[in-house]
Amino acid sequence: TMNNRNIRFRYSYDNKKYSIHGDVMEFMCARGRPVRTVAMRQLCRDACSKLPDVPHANIDYKEGDVIRFTCESGYTSAQASKYVCTSDGWLTVSQGKCYSCSTLPDVPNAHVSEDTKKSEYQEGDVIHFTCESGYTSSPTIKYVCSSEGWLAVRQGKCSSSASSCDRPPTDGGVTVKGLPENDDPILPDHVLTFSCDGPGKYLNGISVLTCGQDGQWDNPFPSCIESCEVKDLPPNVRLSMHVVGDQLTKGQKLSFYCPMRGQTLQGETEVECLANGQWSHPFPTCGAPFDCGRPPPLDNGDLKESQRNQYRNNEWVEYTCQNYHIMDGSPYRTCNNGEWTGQMRCLKPCTVDSETMNNRNIRFRYSYDNKIYSIHGDVMEFMCARGRPVRTVAMRQLCRDGVIDLPSCQ
């Protein structure tokens, strides 16, 4: 029979005339390739394993009767299940378990590697899964066929090998929509949408971000910051610009003015919205301008006119510098709503005496430089009285607000 079918036993212990019920025999081709209509591994079954169907009848067993269970199609067992009828009931002789590894595990984006693929799998067989092109897995994916079916030895996961983008931070009150479930990686072209929770906040940045092919987001993550309310303006105070709505964002500014004649702003003319939702200064008020007291003194300078104890708003005074001093800036200060405005200073002259020059062994190069005072900005040129100059300081020097560097000779 085997010669007619061009087969032989795979193992020598199968080479026997009889095989008992439940024995498994495995064959292989003597020549050529197997015909896949019948598997090369077969089970010896009783031709009468299936009982006749007798309606309304019971089956009786007597003591000593033995029954054997065979697995259904698609299932197999490492050993036969046998029971014997005794006076105490059915006694287990051998108890196998039917299992099936005919249905492979479902691993997304992967297939069974060619070196572990079989037409049929027995208990102990191991299969490896290979990720599809463009996907990688760490660790590798490995299953073993057991009496419970397929069991994962190493249950990896095939994920896209493309660069993934970082997940956005979870703090700051920002609501993020579109995040992948189960902490899956964020792959290129994935889109996230950002918004802010609660009133009084606005989104600082771009609300829709896309993950790039290089694993970088196309814009920085936005944040939620407080907005500043434009409300409760003091009476008679007006805004010098049109404001849309009653909410301003960080960095935006408001400018104010007084529309009524004879009134001035009391406070800051401009305020800025800060990140905490507060204004940089309180809103100003409008009112009659304040008078000023005595004008402040000027170092090395004097008022041109006698000073008074009180000055009206917009009145001004003029200063003059003392001898050999030079005025830097405008000579006027103005009373502006209770404060004197205007900046000036008197720049001091430089003095060079004979004792100092003798100590440094120098003298003036030109006779017109031979004077006690030189005003700010004057240039004085020296020469050695004897010897040669020390090159650390030049022989030509400029007077700067009372300070001049003197050279030396040796």
85-99, 268-282, 285-299, 374-388: segment of lowest average pLDDT: 85-99
pLDDT digits (tens, 9 = 90+) for 371-395: 778 899 999 999 999 989 988 899 9
Pairing of strands 339-341, 316-321: unpaired
| CATH fold for domain 174-226 | Complement Module; domain 1 (2.10.70)
pLDDT digits (tens, 9 = 90+) for 108-126: 889 999 999 988 888 889 9
Pairing of strands 350-351, 373-374: antiparallel
In the predicted model, what is the mean pLDDT of residues 154-165? Answer: 79
pLDDT of residue 49: 56
Question: Tokens representing 362?
Answer: 């120098």
128-132, 241-245, 295-299, 355-359: segment of lowest average pLDDT: 241-245
Question: Tokens representing 335?
Answer: 């009373």
110-160 classified as CATH 2.10.70.10: yes
pLDDT digits (tens, 9 = 90+) for 75-88: 777 777 888 888 88
In the predicted model, what is the mean pLDDT of residues 304-313? Answer: 93
Higher pLDDT, residue 353 or 39:
353
State whether residue 369 is helix, strand or coil: helix
Give the rounded percent of residues in the chain with a pLDDT score beyond 70.
Answer: 93
Place of tokens 């406070």: 267
In the predicted model, what is the mean pLDDT of residues 352-364? Answer: 90
Q: List all residues 6 or more positions away from 287 whose beta carbon is below 8 Å from its beta carbon.
A: 263, 264, 266
pLDDT digits (tens, 9 = 90+) for 198-219: 777 888 889 999 998 888 999 9
Place of tokens 């199609």: 73
End-to-end CA distance of the chain: 130
Q: Is the pLDDT of residue 8 over 70?
A: yes
Q: Is the pLDDT of residue 3 over 90?
A: no
What integer best gives the mean pLDDT of the chain?
A: 86
pLDDT of residue 245: 66
Using alpha carbons, select from 124, 92, 94, 125 the residue that is nearest to residue 23.
94
pLDDT range class, residue 51, cuts 50, 70, 90: low
pLDDT range class, residue 70, cuts 50, 70, 90: confident
Q: Is the pLDDT of residue 46 over 60?
A: no
Question: Which neighbouring-strand residues pair with 85?
Answer: 90
pLDDT of residue 119: 85
3-state helix, strand, coil in the chain (%, to 5): 5, 35, 60
Residue 63's Cβ-side half-sphere holds a number of Cα atoms within 13 Å equal to 4
Report which residue type is found at 341: T
pLDDT digits (tens, 9 = 90+) for 220-239: 999 888 888 888 889 889 99
The CA–CA distances, whole Å, from 199 to 128, 176, 224, 243 equal 55, 17, 11, 19
Dist CA 220 CA 168 (whole Å): 10
Length of the chain: 410
Residue 22's Cβ-side half-sphere holds a number of Cα atoms within 13 Å equal to 15
Query: Does this chain's domain 110-160 share its CATH topology with 174-226?
Result: yes
Name the helix (H) or strand (E) containing 354. Answer: helix 354-359
Cα-atom radius of gyration of the chain, to the nearest Å? 52
The answer to whether the beta carbons of residues 395 and 349 sit under 8 Å apart is no
pLDDT of residue 21: 65
Q: Is the pLDDT of residue 256 over 90?
A: yes
Dist CA 255 CA 247 (whole Å): 15
Q: List all residues 6 or more positions away from 20 whose beta carbon is below 8 Å from its beta carbon.
A: 44
Residue 232's Cβ-side half-sphere holds a number of Cα atoms within 13 Å equal to 5
pLDDT of residue 22: 64
| CATH fold for domain 301-347 | Complement Module; domain 1 (2.10.70)
Q: Is the pLDDT of residue 101 over 80?
A: yes
Backbone dihedral region for residue 305 (phi beyond 0: left; psi -120 to 50: alpha; all else: beta)? beta
Q: Is the pLDDT of residue 398 over 90?
A: yes
Q: What is the pTM of this model?
A: 0.39
pLDDT range class, residue 53, cuts 50, 70, 90: confident
Give the rounded percent of residues in the chain with a pLDDT score beyond 90.
Answer: 40
Q: What ranges make up the beta strands (E) of 322-393?
A: 326-329, 332-336, 339-341, 344-347, 350-351, 362-364, 373-374, 379-384
Question: Tokens representing 292?
Answer: 């000023």
CATH code reported for the domain at 350-398: 2.10.70.10
The answer to whether the beta carbons of residues 143 and 152 sit under 8 Å apart is yes
Instruction: Name the residue ranges covered by the structural domains of the chain.
Output: 7-94, 110-160, 174-226, 301-347, 350-398
Report which residue type is found at 132: E
- What sign results for the dihedral spanned by CA atoms 48, 51, 52, 57? positive
